[in-house]
Structure 1
Amino acid sequence: MTDKPTLVKCLVWDLDNTVWDGTLLEDPDVELFPGIRETIIELDSRGVLNSIASKNDYDLAWKHLEKLGLAEYFVHPQIGWGRKSDSVAEIAERLNFALTTIAFIDDLPTERAEVNYHSDAVRCYDATQAGELTGLPEFSPEIVTVDARRRREMYQASFRRDAEKETFNGPDEDFLRSLDLVMAIKRADEVDLSRVEELTLRTSQMNATGVHYSDADLRKLLADPDHEVLTVTLTDRFGPHGAVGVLLLERHPRLWHLKLLATSCRVVTFGAGAVLLNWLIDEAARAGGHLVADFRATDRNRMMEIAYRFAGFTTDACDCLTVLGEAAADGLQHLHLVADRRDASTTMSLTAPELAVAAETAVRPG
Structure 2
Amino acid sequence: MSDNTLDELRTAVAERRLPAPAVRRALAGSAEAALMRKAGRLLAGLEAENAPAVSVAVHATFTAGSFEPLLRAALVGAGLAPAIEHGEYGTFDLTLATAALTADVVTLLLDAAYFLPRDWSADLETLEKHVEARLAEFRGLLAGARERTSALLVLHTVPLTSEVRDAFISVRARAGVARLWCELNASLLRLVEEDPQVVTVDLVGALAEAPVPVRDARLHRYGDMPYTDGALLVLAGQVRRVVQAKRGLSRKVLALDLDNTLWGGVVGEVGAQGVQLGGLYPGNCYLELQRTARRLRDQGVILVLASKNDPQVVEEALTGHPEVLLRPDAFSVSAVNWSAKAGNLRDAARSLGLSTDAFVFMDDSDFERGHVAGELPEVALVPANGDPAYLVGALLRDGWFDVMALTETDRRRPELYRTRALRSDFATGFGSSEEYLAELGIGVEIAPATGFTVARLAQLAARTNQFNLTGIRFDEAETAAMSADPGHLVASIAVADRFGDDGIVGAVWVDRRAGAWKVLNLVLSCRVLGRGVELAIAGWLLRTARDGGAGTVEGRFTRSPKNGVAADFWTRAGFTQAGDGEVFAFDLSDAFPDLPEWITLRERSDD
- TM-score for both structures, normalised by structure 2: 0.54
CA deviation vs aligned residue, 1:292-348 (integer Å, no higher than 9, x gap): 11321101112222111222333324xxxxxxxxx8xxxx93322213423343101
What does residue 81 of structure 1 align with?
A: 338
Using the alignment, how far apart are the partners of 1:56 and 1:273 within structure 2? 41
Identify unmatched segments of 5+ residues in structure 1: 318-326, 359-366
Matched, 1:334 2:583: yes
AA of the residue aligned to 1:38: R
Provide closer, same or farther for how the CA distance between residues 16 and 270 of structure 1 changes in structure 2, counting only shifts above 3 A.
Answer: same
Q: Deviations over 1:55-92 (max 9, x none)?
A: 10112212322332412211111110011111111112
**2:602 paired with 1:345:** no
Distance apart, 1:46 and its partner CA: 2.4
Q: Distance in 2 between matches of 1:34 and 1:181?
A: 41
Q: Which residue of 1 aligns with 2:54?
A: none
Once the two structures are superposed, the pairs formed by residues 1-366 of structure 1 within 5 Å of their partners are 1-2=71-72, 3=75, 4-5=243-244, 6-27=249-270, 28-29=272-273, 30-32=275-277, 33-67=286-320, 68-70=324-326, 71-128=328-385, 130-132=391-393, 133-166=395-428, 168-286=429-547, 287-317=549-579, 333-339=582-588, 340=590, 341-353=592-604
Offset at 1:282? 3.0
Query: 1:207 touches 1:262 (CA, 8 Å); kept in 2?
Result: yes
**Residue aligning to 1:323:** none
Q: CA offset at residue 288 of structure 1? A: 5.0
- Tell me the distance in 1 between the aligned counterparts of 2:605 and 2:334: 44
- Please give the alpha-carbon distance, in whole angstroms, between the structure 1 residues aligned to 2:368 and 2:550: 61
> 3-state SS of the aligned residue for 1:78?
strand
Counterpart of 1:324?
none
One-letter amino acid of the counterpart of residue 373, structure 2: N
Paired with 1:257 and 1:354, the residues of 2 have a C-alpha distance of: 21
Question: Separation in 1 of the partners of 2:335 and 2:445?
Answer: 35
Whichever residue aligns with residue 287 of structure 2, its letter is P
Any conservation in 2 of the 1:104–1:125 contact (CA below 8 Å)?
Answer: yes
| Match in the other structure for 1:322 | none
Paired residues in the alignment total 342
Distance in 1 (CA, whole Å) between partners of 2:436 and 2:466 is: 25
Instruction: For 1:343 and 1:26, locate their aligned partners in 2 and report how far apart those are by CA, in whole Å.
Output: 61
| Cα shift at 1:354 | 7.4
Q: Structure 1 residue 13: deviation in Å?
A: 0.7
Identity of aligned residues (%): 27
- Larger gyration radius, structure 1 or structure 2: 2
Compute the TM-score of the two structures, normalised by the length of structure 1.
0.88
Task: Kindly report the root-mean-square deviation, in angstroms, between the aligned alpha carbons of the 2 structures.
Answer: 2.0
Q: State the Cα distance separating 1:191 from its structure 2 match.
A: 0.5
The code of the aligned residue for 1:22 comes to G
Given that 1:293 and 1:334 are in contact with CA atoms closer than 8 Å, whether structure 2 keeps it comes out as: yes
Contact 2:557 2:567 in 1 (8 A): yes
1:21 and 1:311, CA in 2 relative to 1: closer, same or farther beyond 3 A? same
- Tell me if structure 1 keeps the 8 A contact 2:577–2:583: yes
Distance in 2 separating the partners of 1:158 and 1:136: 29
Q: Comparing 259-268 with 90-99, which one deviates more in the overlay? A: 90-99
Greater RCO between the two (CA within 8 Å, min separation 6)?
Answer: 1
Q: Distance in 1 between matches of 2:355 and 2:431?
A: 32
Q: Distance in 1 between matches of 2:499 and 2:377?
A: 36
Give the aligned residue type for 2:545. Answer: A
SS in 1 for 2:468: coil
* CA positional deviation for 1:135: 4.2
